[in-house]
Amino acid sequence: MARQSPQRPDADEPELDDTTGTSEPDVAEPADAAPDVAAAETANRALWDELRIDPVEIALPAGTGFTLRAYRSARELTPTDVAERDADDPFLARRQVGPAEDDADEGDVVILDEDVAREFAESEDEEQRAQRDDDTTEDGKDDADEVTADEAGDEEVPIFLTHKGRLLLFKTPESLVSFVRSGAPNDLSQLDSWDELSERVEPADIAPLDDDVYELDLVVENLRGGHDTWDPTLLIEAGEVARDLAYALRLPAVLDMLATGSSLDDLDEALRASVGGGIGGFMGRRRLKKIGAQTASLGWRTIVGKISAVVDWRD
């Protein structure tokens, strides 16, 4: 009988080790990359959580930039000084000069006869009595106001990397870190954790969380698209950061536009309701249909414009 030639191993089968008869294991790829990234992200967040300051990314029509934001008790903070900024605004300057000019036009009152003099004196007495009554009422009101002021002082309010009423926005993490380390004057330097941040922060740390990334440049266009295209997350987050910026930068006009009861506040509440389920979400979507897209987009265009006007871009 003819000898059968030994079969050659199939090309797809693993070759056996001559000594053990077992297949050689595949060489594993280094798996250090993912853990290293996770560890770095954890370290970054540990820095911000410890110092209670956060990196923020804001997109405006003129570009996208990085800045810093913190929340502290109102009594701990000195608001940004807007005197220089407002002096550069001709409209604000005109309003400030107006009342002084009006007062200068007022002259002494001239009494022409005794009857008019008597009526003037009587009316003056009535005004004085009314003033005394008002003073008594005001005393009670002042006590209530003091309690309210104390409560307001304990409220946490936003503060950004600002200087003289302008928001400092940096095109790159490197430029932001360079500024922080430079010792240049800014409103965040009043925080007790600022010095430690300036010593420890690195460009890799400037990695904002998704919740701290705001796209104000997309808001107006999104609203113009009509109710069916409105992005609730985009618009709600825009409202949050706009309120924070308006408070920190002392922009009363923007605060008024977003105040409780305003049309843009109604939009915000309807958007928040619409993302919920059940009857609340249904009613929220119905409320959105009643809000004018043109009115909303015009209002937000004004807000984005006012914020953009007080940005100091840094490369």
Q: How far apart are CA 240 and CA 219, in angstroms?
A: 13
pLDDT of the residue at 276: 84
b or e along 42-52 (b: 16 or more beta carbons within 10 Å of the residue's beta carbon)? eebeebbeebe
Does 188 reside within a domain?
yes
Task: Report the Cα 138 to chain-centroid distance in Å.
Answer: 36
pLDDT of the residue at 281: 87
- Residue ranges of the alpha helices (H) in 155-231? 173-182, 194-200, 219-224
Does 86 reside within a domain?
yes
- Residues 313, 169 contacting (CB under 8 angstroms): yes
pLDDT of the residue at 143: 56
Does 127 reside within a domain?
no
pLDDT of the residue at 278: 87
Looking at the structure of the chain, the number of domains it has is 1
Q: How far apart are CA 199 and CA 215, in angstroms?
A: 30
Does 83 reside within a domain?
yes
Question: Hunting for tokens 């104390």 — which residue is that?
Answer: 150
Does 68 reside within a domain?
yes
- Residues 50, 170 contacting (CB under 8 angstroms): no
Q: How far apart are CA 177 and CA 55, in angstroms?
A: 11
Q: How far apart are CA 254 and CA 167, in angstroms?
A: 15
Alpha-carbon distances of 267 from 38, 222, 270, 288, rounded to whole Å = 38, 13, 5, 7
Helix (H, G, I), strand (E, B) or coil at 58: strand
pLDDT of the residue at 224: 95
Q: Using the 8-state DSSP alphabet, how is residue 193 labeled?
A: T
| Pairing of the two strands 162-163 and 166-170 | antiparallel
* Type of residue at 216: L
pLDDT of the residue at 87: 87
Does 207 reside within a domain?
yes
Does 145 reside within a domain?
no
Nearest alpha carbon to residue 295 among 238, 225, 234, 224: 224
Q: How far apart are CA 129 and CA 25, in angstroms?
A: 100
Q: How far apart are CA 263 and CA 109, in angstroms?
A: 46
Q: Is the dihedral of CA 27, 28, 32, 34 positive or negative?
A: positive
- Residues 239, 153 contacting (CB under 8 angstroms): no
Does 89 reside within a domain?
yes
What is the block-wise mean pLDDT of the chain (315 residues), using blocks of 10 residues? Answer: 44 48 52 54 84 98 98 96 85 46 43 47 54 60 54 85 98 98 97 97 97 98 94 97 98 97 95 89 89 94 98 94
Written as six digits, the tokens of 59 are 């997109």
Written as six digits, the tokens of 209 are 């969380």
- Residues 250, 80 contacting (CB under 8 angstroms): yes
| Pairing of the two strands 162-163 and 311-314 | unpaired
Q: Show the domain range for 64.
A: 49-95+156-314
The pTM assigned to this predicted structure is: 0.71
